[in-house]
Structure 1
Protein backbone atom coordinates (compact mmCIF):
# COMPACT_ATOMS: atom_id res chain seq x y z
CA UNK A 1 0.00 0.00 0.00
CA UNK A 2 1.36 3.44 -0.91
CA UNK A 3 1.89 5.86 1.99
CA UNK A 4 1.49 9.58 1.38
CA UNK A 5 4.30 11.10 3.40
CA UNK A 6 4.80 14.83 2.94
CA UNK A 7 7.29 15.70 0.24
CA UNK A 8 8.10 19.02 1.88
CA UNK A 9 11.59 19.37 3.35
CA UNK A 10 11.99 19.82 7.08
CA UNK A 11 15.00 21.10 9.01
CA UNK A 12 15.82 17.53 9.98
CA UNK A 13 15.89 16.48 6.33
CA UNK A 14 18.33 19.26 5.49
CA UNK A 15 20.59 18.35 8.41
CA UNK A 16 20.66 14.63 7.58
CA UNK A 17 21.17 15.25 3.85
CA UNK A 18 24.05 17.61 4.66
CA UNK A 19 25.66 15.08 7.01
CA UNK A 20 25.35 12.42 4.32
CA UNK A 21 26.93 14.80 1.81
CA UNK A 22 29.89 15.47 4.10
CA UNK A 23 30.43 11.74 4.68
CA UNK A 24 30.14 10.97 0.98
CA UNK A 25 32.36 13.95 0.15
CA UNK A 26 35.09 12.33 2.20
CA UNK A 27 34.48 9.04 0.38
CA UNK A 28 34.65 10.89 -2.95
CA UNK A 29 37.95 12.46 -1.95
CA UNK A 30 39.47 9.09 -0.99
CA UNK A 31 38.02 7.55 -4.15
CA UNK A 32 39.51 10.27 -6.34
CA UNK A 33 42.96 10.29 -4.76
CA UNK A 34 43.56 6.65 -3.87
CA UNK A 35 41.02 4.05 -4.95
CA UNK A 36 40.18 5.19 -8.49
CA UNK A 37 43.83 5.73 -9.58
CA UNK A 38 44.75 2.27 -8.30
CA UNK A 39 41.83 0.56 -10.01
CA UNK A 40 42.27 2.37 -13.31
CA UNK A 41 45.98 1.50 -13.32
CA UNK A 42 44.92 -2.13 -13.58
CA UNK A 43 42.78 -1.23 -16.60
CA UNK A 44 45.41 0.97 -18.26
CA UNK A 45 45.50 -1.17 -21.41
CA UNK A 46 41.73 -1.03 -21.81
CA UNK A 47 40.65 2.52 -20.82
CA UNK A 48 37.11 1.98 -22.07
CA UNK A 49 36.61 -0.24 -19.02
CA UNK A 50 37.92 2.37 -16.57
CA UNK A 51 34.39 3.47 -15.52
CA UNK A 52 33.98 0.11 -13.81
CA UNK A 53 35.85 1.87 -11.00
CA UNK A 54 33.76 5.05 -11.15
CA UNK A 55 30.60 4.00 -9.37
CA UNK A 56 31.83 5.23 -6.01
CA UNK A 57 31.24 8.80 -7.17
CA UNK A 58 27.52 8.09 -7.56
CA UNK A 59 26.84 6.93 -4.02
CA UNK A 60 25.78 10.27 -2.54
CA UNK A 61 22.92 10.92 -4.96
CA UNK A 62 21.27 7.53 -4.69
CA UNK A 63 21.85 7.22 -0.94
CA UNK A 64 20.65 10.74 -0.23
CA UNK A 65 17.53 10.24 -2.31
CA UNK A 66 16.83 6.88 -0.73
CA UNK A 67 17.19 8.08 2.85
CA UNK A 68 15.54 11.53 2.60
CA UNK A 69 12.89 10.59 0.03
CA UNK A 70 12.06 14.18 -0.88
CA UNK A 71 12.30 16.08 -4.19
CA UNK A 72 15.81 17.37 -4.75
CA UNK A 73 17.48 15.15 -2.15
CA UNK A 74 19.50 13.13 -4.66
CA UNK A 75 20.70 16.24 -6.48
CA UNK A 76 21.44 18.16 -3.28
CA UNK A 77 23.43 15.37 -1.66
CA UNK A 78 25.42 14.45 -4.78
CA UNK A 79 26.26 18.05 -5.66
CA UNK A 80 27.24 19.03 -2.12
CA UNK A 81 29.38 15.91 -1.71
CA UNK A 82 31.16 16.69 -4.97
CA UNK A 83 31.80 20.29 -3.91
CA UNK A 84 33.17 19.15 -0.56
CA UNK A 85 35.53 16.67 -2.21
CA UNK A 86 36.66 19.42 -4.56
CA UNK A 87 37.39 21.77 -1.66
CA UNK A 88 39.44 19.03 -0.01
CA UNK A 89 41.49 18.79 -3.20
CA UNK A 90 41.47 16.43 -6.17
CA UNK A 91 43.17 16.42 -9.55
CA UNK A 92 39.78 17.19 -11.12
CA UNK A 93 39.61 20.62 -9.43
CA UNK A 94 36.30 22.52 -9.75
CA UNK A 95 35.06 20.15 -12.46
CA UNK A 96 33.91 17.80 -9.72
CA UNK A 97 31.05 20.23 -9.05
CA UNK A 98 29.85 19.91 -12.65
CA UNK A 99 30.13 16.14 -12.41
CA UNK A 100 28.15 16.15 -9.17
CA UNK A 101 25.44 18.25 -10.77
CA UNK A 102 25.13 15.96 -13.80
CA UNK A 103 25.22 12.75 -11.79
CA UNK A 104 22.79 14.08 -9.20
CA UNK A 105 20.31 15.04 -11.91
CA UNK A 106 20.55 11.51 -13.30
CA UNK A 107 19.46 9.92 -10.02
CA UNK A 108 16.91 12.66 -9.30
CA UNK A 109 15.14 12.08 -12.62
CA UNK A 110 14.40 8.46 -11.74
CA UNK A 111 13.02 9.27 -8.28
CA UNK A 112 10.91 12.06 -9.81
CA UNK A 113 9.50 9.78 -12.53
CA UNK A 114 8.57 7.33 -9.75
CA UNK A 115 6.86 10.27 -7.97
CA UNK A 116 9.06 9.73 -4.90
CA UNK A 117 6.91 6.74 -3.97
CA UNK A 118 8.87 3.64 -5.01
CA UNK A 119 11.76 2.77 -2.71
CA UNK A 120 13.01 -0.73 -3.34
CA UNK A 121 16.08 -2.42 -4.77
CA UNK A 122 14.84 -1.98 -8.33
CA UNK A 123 14.43 1.78 -7.97
CA UNK A 124 17.86 2.06 -6.34
CA UNK A 125 19.49 0.14 -9.18
CA UNK A 126 17.61 2.15 -11.81
CA UNK A 127 18.56 5.49 -10.24
CA UNK A 128 22.18 4.38 -10.05
CA UNK A 129 22.13 3.14 -13.65
CA UNK A 130 20.77 6.45 -14.97
CA UNK A 131 23.24 8.37 -12.82
CA UNK A 132 25.98 6.14 -14.24
CA UNK A 133 24.76 6.82 -17.76
CA UNK A 134 24.92 10.55 -17.05
CA UNK A 135 28.44 10.16 -15.70
CA UNK A 136 29.75 8.09 -18.60
CA UNK A 137 28.09 10.09 -21.35
CA UNK A 138 29.13 13.46 -19.92
CA UNK A 139 32.73 12.33 -19.40
CA UNK A 140 33.00 11.29 -23.02
CA UNK A 141 31.63 14.65 -24.17
CA UNK A 142 33.78 16.73 -21.81
CA UNK A 143 37.03 14.79 -21.62
CA UNK A 144 37.27 12.06 -24.25
CA UNK A 145 35.28 13.15 -27.31
CA UNK A 146 38.18 12.47 -29.65
CA UNK A 147 39.55 9.43 -27.82
CA UNK A 148 36.57 7.27 -26.89
CA UNK A 149 34.33 6.70 -29.89
CA UNK A 150 32.16 4.04 -31.50
CA UNK A 151 32.06 0.71 -29.71
CA UNK A 152 34.46 1.90 -27.04
CA UNK A 153 32.09 4.76 -26.20
CA UNK A 154 29.23 2.29 -25.76
CA UNK A 155 31.43 0.11 -23.53
CA UNK A 156 32.48 3.17 -21.53
CA UNK A 157 28.90 4.21 -20.79
CA UNK A 158 27.79 0.63 -20.10
CA UNK A 159 30.63 0.19 -17.61
CA UNK A 160 29.61 3.44 -15.92
CA UNK A 161 26.08 2.13 -15.51
CA UNK A 162 27.18 -1.28 -14.22
CA UNK A 163 29.58 0.28 -11.73
CA UNK A 164 26.89 2.68 -10.56
CA UNK A 165 24.42 -0.14 -9.97
CA UNK A 166 26.94 -1.98 -7.80
CA UNK A 167 28.69 0.83 -5.90
CA UNK A 168 25.72 3.20 -5.62
CA UNK A 169 22.49 1.29 -6.24
CA UNK A 170 23.02 -1.95 -4.35
CA UNK A 171 25.14 -0.33 -1.66
CA UNK A 172 22.61 2.46 -1.02
CA UNK A 173 19.81 -0.05 -0.66
CA UNK A 174 21.85 -2.14 1.79
CA UNK A 175 22.94 0.90 3.84
CA UNK A 176 19.42 2.30 4.05
CA UNK A 177 17.96 -1.03 5.15
CA UNK A 178 20.68 -1.47 7.77
CA UNK A 179 20.32 2.05 9.17
CA UNK A 180 16.52 1.83 9.26
CA UNK A 181 16.70 -1.34 11.35
CA UNK A 182 18.79 0.45 13.98
CA UNK A 183 16.19 3.17 14.39
CA UNK A 184 18.50 6.09 13.54
CA UNK A 185 16.27 7.01 10.60
CA UNK A 186 13.06 7.00 12.66
CA UNK A 187 12.46 10.71 12.10
CA UNK A 188 12.75 10.31 8.32
CA UNK A 189 10.41 8.81 5.75
CA UNK A 190 12.79 5.90 5.16
CA UNK A 191 12.80 5.05 8.87
CA UNK A 192 9.03 5.42 9.28
CA UNK A 193 8.41 2.92 6.51
CA UNK A 194 10.69 0.39 8.21
CA UNK A 195 9.00 1.03 11.57
CA UNK A 196 5.53 0.61 10.09
CA UNK A 197 6.47 -2.68 8.52
CA UNK A 198 7.86 -3.90 11.83
CA UNK A 199 4.61 -2.98 13.57
CA UNK A 200 2.61 -4.92 10.98
CA UNK A 201 4.73 -8.01 11.62
Structure 2
Protein backbone atom coordinates (compact mmCIF):
# COMPACT_ATOMS: atom_id res chain seq x y z
CA UNK A 1 0.00 0.00 0.00
CA UNK A 2 2.63 2.62 0.84
CA UNK A 3 6.38 2.68 0.71
CA UNK A 4 6.82 5.81 2.79
CA UNK A 5 8.72 4.10 5.58
CA UNK A 6 10.26 0.74 6.36
CA UNK A 7 8.34 0.77 9.64
CA UNK A 8 5.02 0.54 7.86
CA UNK A 9 3.11 -2.69 7.64
CA UNK A 10 2.99 -5.10 4.74
CA UNK A 11 -0.32 -3.49 3.78
CA UNK A 12 1.65 -0.30 3.30
CA UNK A 13 4.36 -1.97 1.35
CA UNK A 14 6.80 -2.08 -1.60
CA UNK A 15 -18.61 -15.76 -1.30
CA UNK A 16 -21.35 -16.09 -0.75
CA UNK A 17 -24.25 -17.37 -2.74
CA UNK A 18 -24.51 -16.29 -6.36
CA UNK A 19 -22.41 -17.63 -9.12
CA UNK A 20 -19.53 -15.42 -10.19
CA UNK A 21 -20.76 -13.32 -13.02
CA UNK A 22 -24.41 -13.78 -12.02
CA UNK A 23 -26.56 -10.81 -11.18
CA UNK A 24 -25.63 -9.48 -7.77
CA UNK A 25 -29.28 -9.32 -6.80
CA UNK A 26 -29.65 -13.10 -7.04
CA UNK A 27 -29.14 -15.15 -3.90
CA UNK A 28 -29.05 -18.78 -2.94
CA UNK A 29 -30.03 -20.59 0.21
CA UNK A 30 -28.06 -19.53 3.30
CA UNK A 31 -24.69 -21.32 3.39
CA UNK A 32 -24.11 -24.04 5.96
CA UNK A 33 -22.13 -22.69 8.89
CA UNK A 34 -20.59 -26.07 9.83
CA UNK A 35 -17.05 -26.41 8.56
CA UNK A 36 -16.01 -29.50 6.62
CA UNK A 37 -12.47 -30.82 6.43
CA UNK A 38 -12.25 -29.71 2.80
CA UNK A 39 -13.28 -26.17 3.78
CA UNK A 40 -10.36 -25.98 6.18
CA UNK A 41 -7.92 -27.54 3.72
CA UNK A 42 -8.81 -25.11 0.93
CA UNK A 43 -8.68 -22.11 3.26
CA UNK A 44 -5.26 -23.10 4.57
CA UNK A 45 -3.98 -23.80 1.06
CA UNK A 46 -5.08 -20.36 -0.13
CA UNK A 47 -3.45 -18.73 2.87
CA UNK A 48 -0.13 -20.53 2.48
CA UNK A 49 0.06 -19.98 -1.27
CA UNK A 50 -0.74 -16.28 -0.98
CA UNK A 51 1.72 -15.88 1.89
CA UNK A 52 4.48 -16.94 -0.49
CA UNK A 53 3.13 -14.62 -3.19
CA UNK A 54 3.12 -11.74 -0.71
CA UNK A 55 6.91 -11.86 -0.52
CA UNK A 56 7.08 -10.70 -4.12
CA UNK A 57 4.35 -8.09 -4.01
CA UNK A 58 6.71 -5.32 -2.95
CA UNK A 59 8.11 -5.43 -6.50
CA UNK A 60 4.72 -4.36 -7.80
CA UNK A 61 5.37 -0.93 -6.33
CA UNK A 62 8.49 -0.24 -8.39
CA UNK A 63 6.60 0.95 -11.51
CA UNK A 64 4.72 3.56 -9.48
CA UNK A 65 7.71 4.80 -7.46
CA UNK A 66 7.87 8.16 -9.31
CA UNK A 67 4.24 8.75 -8.40
CA UNK A 68 4.57 7.71 -4.76
CA UNK A 69 7.73 9.77 -4.40
CA UNK A 70 5.75 12.87 -5.34
CA UNK A 71 2.56 11.90 -3.52
CA UNK A 72 2.98 9.16 -0.91
CA UNK A 73 -0.76 8.34 -0.56
CA UNK A 74 -0.68 7.09 -4.16
CA UNK A 75 0.82 3.88 -2.79
CA UNK A 76 -2.75 2.96 -1.87
CA UNK A 77 -3.35 2.18 -5.55
CA UNK A 78 -2.20 -1.39 -4.93
CA UNK A 79 -3.86 -1.89 -1.57
CA UNK A 80 -6.38 -4.37 -2.96
CA UNK A 81 -3.62 -6.84 -3.79
CA UNK A 82 -3.16 -7.58 -0.10
CA UNK A 83 -6.79 -8.61 0.37
CA UNK A 84 -6.67 -11.45 -2.14
CA UNK A 85 -6.35 -14.38 0.32
CA UNK A 86 -9.39 -13.24 2.29
CA UNK A 87 -11.47 -12.40 -0.79
CA UNK A 88 -10.64 -15.66 -2.56
CA UNK A 89 -11.28 -17.83 0.50
CA UNK A 90 -14.53 -16.01 1.23
CA UNK A 91 -15.65 -16.41 -2.37
CA UNK A 92 -14.94 -20.14 -2.48
CA UNK A 93 -15.67 -21.41 1.04
CA UNK A 94 -18.52 -19.00 1.83
CA UNK A 95 -18.47 -19.56 5.57
CA UNK A 96 -17.89 -17.07 8.38
CA UNK A 97 -14.25 -17.03 9.36
CA UNK A 98 -12.78 -18.34 6.10
CA UNK A 99 -11.65 -14.92 4.89
CA UNK A 100 -10.07 -14.01 8.23
CA UNK A 101 -8.31 -17.35 8.59
CA UNK A 102 -6.85 -17.25 5.08
CA UNK A 103 -5.58 -13.69 5.53
CA UNK A 104 -3.99 -14.47 8.90
CA UNK A 105 -2.28 -17.58 7.52
CA UNK A 106 -0.96 -15.60 4.56
CA UNK A 107 0.37 -12.92 6.91
CA UNK A 108 1.97 -15.53 9.15
CA UNK A 109 3.65 -17.31 6.24
CA UNK A 110 4.96 -14.01 4.90
CA UNK A 111 6.32 -13.11 8.34
CA UNK A 112 7.97 -16.50 8.85
CA UNK A 113 9.59 -16.37 5.41
CA UNK A 114 11.30 -13.12 6.32
CA UNK A 115 8.82 -10.47 5.22
CA UNK A 116 10.25 -7.02 5.82
CA UNK A 117 7.50 -5.85 8.17
CA UNK A 118 8.06 -8.49 10.82
CA UNK A 119 5.37 -9.08 13.42
CA UNK A 120 3.35 -6.05 12.30
CA UNK A 121 2.41 -8.15 9.27
CA UNK A 122 -0.03 -9.96 11.55
CA UNK A 123 -1.74 -6.70 12.49
CA UNK A 124 -2.41 -5.91 8.86
CA UNK A 125 -3.56 -9.47 8.26
CA UNK A 126 -6.04 -9.17 11.12
CA UNK A 127 -7.33 -5.79 9.95
CA UNK A 128 -7.73 -6.86 6.33
CA UNK A 129 -9.28 -10.22 7.19
CA UNK A 130 -11.80 -8.62 9.53
CA UNK A 131 -12.67 -6.07 6.87
CA UNK A 132 -13.44 -8.73 4.28
CA UNK A 133 -15.47 -10.69 6.83
CA UNK A 134 -17.50 -7.58 7.58
CA UNK A 135 -18.19 -6.95 3.89
CA UNK A 136 -19.30 -10.53 3.26
CA UNK A 137 -21.39 -10.60 6.44
CA UNK A 138 -23.37 -7.61 5.16
CA UNK A 139 -24.68 -9.99 2.50
CA UNK A 140 -25.10 -12.83 5.02
CA UNK A 141 -22.47 -14.80 3.08
CA UNK A 142 -25.09 -15.44 0.40
CA UNK A 143 -23.69 -13.40 -2.49
CA UNK A 144 -20.49 -13.84 -4.44
CA UNK A 145 -20.81 -11.41 -7.33
CA UNK A 146 -19.01 -8.19 -8.13
CA UNK A 147 -21.01 -6.11 -5.65
CA UNK A 148 -20.35 -8.35 -2.65
CA UNK A 149 -16.62 -8.62 -3.35
CA UNK A 150 -16.33 -4.89 -4.03
CA UNK A 151 -17.99 -4.10 -0.70
CA UNK A 152 -15.68 -6.58 1.05
CA UNK A 153 -12.68 -4.88 -0.55
CA UNK A 154 -13.91 -1.46 0.55
CA UNK A 155 -14.40 -2.63 4.14
CA UNK A 156 -10.93 -4.18 4.22
CA UNK A 157 -9.46 -0.93 2.92
CA UNK A 158 -11.21 1.13 5.59
CA UNK A 159 -10.12 -1.02 8.53
CA UNK A 160 -6.55 -1.32 7.26
CA UNK A 161 -6.48 2.45 6.79
CA UNK A 162 -7.35 3.03 10.44
CA UNK A 163 -4.33 1.01 11.48
CA UNK A 164 -1.95 2.54 8.95
CA UNK A 165 -3.08 6.15 9.35
CA UNK A 166 -2.81 6.11 13.13
CA UNK A 167 -0.47 3.23 13.92
CA UNK A 168 2.41 3.51 11.43
CA UNK A 169 4.66 6.28 10.14
CA UNK A 170 1.71 7.48 8.06
CA UNK A 171 0.44 9.09 11.26
CA UNK A 172 2.87 11.90 10.48
CA UNK A 173 0.97 12.80 7.34
CA UNK A 174 -1.40 15.76 7.24
CA UNK A 175 -5.07 14.82 7.47
CA UNK A 176 -5.72 15.67 3.82
CA UNK A 177 -3.07 13.16 2.81
CA UNK A 178 -4.59 10.56 5.12
CA UNK A 179 -8.04 11.08 3.64
CA UNK A 180 -6.63 10.92 0.13
CA UNK A 181 -4.93 7.67 1.08
CA UNK A 182 -8.24 6.29 2.35
CA UNK A 183 -10.03 7.19 -0.88
CA UNK A 184 -7.32 5.63 -3.04
CA UNK A 185 -7.24 2.47 -0.92
CA UNK A 186 -11.01 2.07 -1.12
CA UNK A 187 -10.97 2.44 -4.90
CA UNK A 188 -8.20 -0.15 -5.09
CA UNK A 189 -10.10 -2.58 -2.88
CA UNK A 190 -13.35 -2.09 -4.78
CA UNK A 191 -11.73 -2.61 -8.19
CA UNK A 192 -9.04 -5.23 -7.59
CA UNK A 193 -11.01 -7.57 -5.32
CA UNK A 194 -13.58 -8.69 -7.90
CA UNK A 195 -11.32 -8.02 -10.90
CA UNK A 196 -8.69 -10.51 -9.76
CA UNK A 197 -10.57 -13.01 -7.63
CA UNK A 198 -13.61 -13.72 -9.77
CA UNK A 199 -11.60 -14.81 -12.84
CA UNK A 200 -9.21 -16.83 -10.69
CA UNK A 201 -12.06 -18.62 -8.90
CA UNK A 202 -13.76 -19.34 -12.23
CA UNK A 203 -10.52 -20.75 -13.62
CA UNK A 204 -10.10 -23.04 -10.63
CA UNK A 205 -13.73 -24.12 -10.87
CA UNK A 206 -13.27 -25.14 -14.50
CA UNK A 207 -10.53 -27.57 -13.46
CA UNK A 208 -12.99 -29.44 -11.24
CA UNK A 209 -11.01 -28.93 -8.01
CA UNK A 210 -13.83 -26.87 -6.53
CA UNK A 211 -16.68 -29.25 -7.32
CA UNK A 212 -17.33 -29.70 -3.59
CA UNK A 213 -18.04 -25.97 -3.23
CA UNK A 214 -20.94 -23.81 -4.38
CA UNK A 215 -18.86 -22.21 -7.10
CA UNK A 216 -18.14 -25.64 -8.58
CA UNK A 217 -21.78 -26.69 -8.46
CA UNK A 218 -22.81 -23.40 -10.04
CA UNK A 219 -20.39 -24.00 -12.90
CA UNK A 220 -21.78 -27.49 -13.43
CA UNK A 221 -25.34 -26.14 -13.40
CA UNK A 222 -24.50 -23.55 -16.07
CA UNK A 223 -22.99 -26.22 -18.28
CA UNK A 224 -26.20 -28.23 -18.11
CA UNK A 225 -28.30 -25.34 -19.35
Q: Which residue of 2 aligns with 1:53?
A: 78
TM-score (structure 1 length as normaliser): 0.91
Deviation at 1:175, TM superposition (A): 1.1
Among residues 41, 58, 69, which one is paired with 1:15 in the alignment?
41
Q: For residues 104 and 29 of structure 2, what CA distance do their matches in structure 1 show?
A: 28
Deviation at 1:128, TM superposition (A): 1.0
Structure with the bigger percentage of helix: 1
Question: Greater RCO between the two (CA within 8 Å, min separation 6)?
Answer: 2
SS in 2 for 1:44: helix
The alpha-carbon deviation at position 165 of structure 1 amounts to 2.5
Pair 1:99-2:124 in alignment: yes
SS in 1 for 2:107: helix
Matches of 1:98 and 1:39 in 2, distance apart? Answer: 27
Could you tell me how far apart the structure 2 residues matched to 1:40 and 1:137 are? 23
Q: What per-residue deviation string (whole Å, max 9, x for no partner) do you get for residues 63-116 of structure 1? A: 110011111011010111011111111221010011000100000011112111
Q: What stretches of structure 1 of length at least 5 have no aligned partner?
A: none
TM-score, L = length of structure 2? 0.82
Task: State how far apart, in whole Å, the 2-side matches of 1:97 and 1:147 are.
Answer: 22
How large is the RMSD of aligned CA atoms in angstroms? 1.7
Q: Secondary structure at the match of 1:2?
A: coil
Aligned residue for 1:9, secondary structure, equals coil
Q: Counterpart of 1:169?
A: 194
Q: Which whole-Å CA distance do the structure 2 matches of 1:76 and 1:190 have between them?
A: 20
Residue 55 of structure 2 corresponds to: 29
Number of the residue aligned with 2:12: none
Count of residue pairs brought into register by the alignment: 198
